[in-house]
């Protein structure tokens, strides 16, 4: 009787082990050589995601008040050509997906390189995303958002919190943001609109279209600097700030209702003005080295 009991227990343990193995496989859900997905359960605390991708597009959007992070990779190439690493520490998920290095000559036509990483997260999320050679899109997030992008466009929509953005080669579109902005673009146009309390913005070799939305009041010293490109800036009529504008080589069109302290326009180019917008306030500098500048009120 004792022997039969031990045998039954051993069989039950074996069945449990097999079931656990199958459950683990289902969690990874790699349905083919071209598809991978996984769900990371969260406790409902402060969720955060650190994601790094290369040679693929990255899309991140909110699933509302869900308590999980879902990651889905799909490609027309074999996923064995990539290094995929993932882990979870509490409510912090880490995910890396990069193409493996190749020895010798390796040629892939662009139309054959269709790989996308899709991520669903809770609305409240701290995000640290790094993308090399691929576009990035993220929307409907509340928290700290840090983005480092190289060779690809960046589109951020409906972001509320602190935005830190570095783009090396590609256009940037930040729409309907609320919070603080610290952004640098090296080679590509930038179109930004939002209700910001502080702005640190720098562009090199690209046009800038910037709108400070109605309701914005700057609480800290802010700066916009452009090295090479056309600059168009729109500010709310009710904004109070001490405005300093300087241009190098380009036309200046400033229609702000400033109480002027200083204005200078050189014959060989270059303009400089300083004044108070409404009652004045924190310093707000707008400097452009090479390109026409337009500054108007909404």
pLDDT of residue 14: 44
pLDDT of residue 6: 47
Task: Provide the whole-model pTM.
Answer: 0.84
pLDDT of residue 151: 85
d(Cα 296, Cα 25) in Å, to the nearest integer?
58
Q: Are 249 and 188 in contact (CB under 8 A)?
A: no
pLDDT of residue 24: 38
Exposed (0-12), middle (13-18) or buried (19+): which is 177, by Cβ within 10 Å? Answer: buried
pLDDT of residue 63: 95
Q: How many CA atoms within 13 Å lie on the side-chain side of 237? A: 1
pLDDT of residue 104: 53
pLDDT of residue 119: 98
Measure Cα distances from 285 to 17, 115, 242, 245 in Å: 65, 42, 8, 6
Q: Are 46 and 93 in contact (CB under 8 A)?
A: no
pLDDT of residue 9: 46
Please, which residues have CB within 8 angstroms of residue 92's CB and are 6 or more apart in sequence?
47, 48, 49, 50
pLDDT of residue 44: 83
Which two three-digit tokens encode residue 10? 């051993």
Q: What is the mean pLDDT of each run of 10 residues along the chain (298 residues)?
A: 42 44 43 89 93 94 96 93 95 95 55 82 97 94 96 95 94 97 93 97 93 95 93 95 91 90 74 92 93 92
Domain residue spans of the chain: 33-170
pLDDT of residue 264: 83
pLDDT of residue 267: 57
Local structure of 228: helix, strand or coil: coil
Looking only at the bridges linking them, the beta strands covering 57-62 and 172-185 are unpaired
pLDDT of residue 262: 81
pLDDT of residue 25: 37
Local structure of 14: helix, strand or coil: helix
Local structure of 110: helix, strand or coil: helix
């Amino acid at each position: 009787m004792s022997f039969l009991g031990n045998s039954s227990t051993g069989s039950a343990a074996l069945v449990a082990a097999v079931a656990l193995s199958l459950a683990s496989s289902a969690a990874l859900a790699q349905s083919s050589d071209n598809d991978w997905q996984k769900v990371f359960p969260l406790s409902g605390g402060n969720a955060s995601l650190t994601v790094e991708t290369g040679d693929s597009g990255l899309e991140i959007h909110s699933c509302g008040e869900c308590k999980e992070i879902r990651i889905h990779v799909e490609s027309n190439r074999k996923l064995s050509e990539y290094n995929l690493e993932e882990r979870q520490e509490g409510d912090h998920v880490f995910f890396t997906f990069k193409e493996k290095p190749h020895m010798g000559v390796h040629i892939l036509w662009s139309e054959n390189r269709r790989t996308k990483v899709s991520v669903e997260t809770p609305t409240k999320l701290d995000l640290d995303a790094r993308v090399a050679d691929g576009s990035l899109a993220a929307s409907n997030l509340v928290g700290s958002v840090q983005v480092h992008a190289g060779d690809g466009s960046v589109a951020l929509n409906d972001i509320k919190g602190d935005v830190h953005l570095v783009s090396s080669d590609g256009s940037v579109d930040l729409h309907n943001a609320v919070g603080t902005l610290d952004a640098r673009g090296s080679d590509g146009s930038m179109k930004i609109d939002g209700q910001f309390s502080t702005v640190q913005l720098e562009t090199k070799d690209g046009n800038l279209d910037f709108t400070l939305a109605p309701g914005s009041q700057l609480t800290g010293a802010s700066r916009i600097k452009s090295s090479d490109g056309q600059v168009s800036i729109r500010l709310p009529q009710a904004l109070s700030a001490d405005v300093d504008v300087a241009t190098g080589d380009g036309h200046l069109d400033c229609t702000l209702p400033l109480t002027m302290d200083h204005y200078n326009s050189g014959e060989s180019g270059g303009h400089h003005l300083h004044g108070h917008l409404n009652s004045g306030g924190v310093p707000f500098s707008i400097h452009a080295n090479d390109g026409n500048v337009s500054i108007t009120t909404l």
